[in-house]
Amino acid sequence: MDVPVRILAISGSLRAGGANNAVLDAARRLAPPGVEITHYAGLRALPAFDPDLDTIAGDALPQEAAQLRAAVGRADALLLSSPEYAHGIAGAFKNALDWLVGSVEFPGKPVALLNASAHAVHAHAQLVEVLTTMNARLVPEASIVVHVGGRSVAGRPFDGPAVAADAALGGALRGALRALCDAVASRAR
């Protein structure tokens, strides 16, 4: 590839050692040549969404929200992973999505969902609903549950390097990344 594919990875987990962060770190480690995966690290700093600050002029937009939108704008695709809390999307992650609703950078962006727990079906379903409403271009072939032998990564002592080194997990993540890159290429045509 002459121009690198830029993918922004956003984890809905604030836990440094969380399974969602491990899966996204593994994806970054497994990125093929010509694919650059950058981790968004500003989730904790985002203020609570306030529609009064999300004006058409953009003059009241908090700096953290503007930085998130700029990062999304620079990306060719998004790689998202969120834990499930109380049968729903993690609050900090939903807050980030709320800041993107009024943005021009997000609609039509190819998005892959990586689910680190086979049991997190409610959050996954909510993410699909929210992202569809936000006009994301969900890539089903790139959206996978990352698990080992029928068990998810969640609850296992796996970090990014271990997930990347695991033959089954690494293969699944490589396939998801190929599918996401294919979606980016088809969008460019």
DSSP assignment string, 84-129: EETTEE-HHHHHHHHHHHT-SSSTT-EEEEEES-TT-HHHHHHHHH
Q: Give the CA distances from residue 56 to residues 13, 46, 51, 59, in Å, rounded to whole numbers and listed in that order.
A: 30, 19, 11, 8
- Distance linking the first and last C-alpha atoms of the chain: 14
Residue 156 confidence (pLDDT) = 60
- Residue 87: pLDDT band (50, 70, 90) is very high
Q: Is 160 exposed, middle or buried (0-12, 13-18, 19+ CB in 10 A)?
A: middle
pTM: 0.92
- pLDDT above 70 coverage of the chain, percent: 92
CA gap 72, 7 in Å, rounded:
9
Residue 2 confidence (pLDDT) = 60
Interval 106-158: pLDDT, tens: 999 999 999 988 788 899 999 999 999 999 999 999 999 887 555 556 666 67
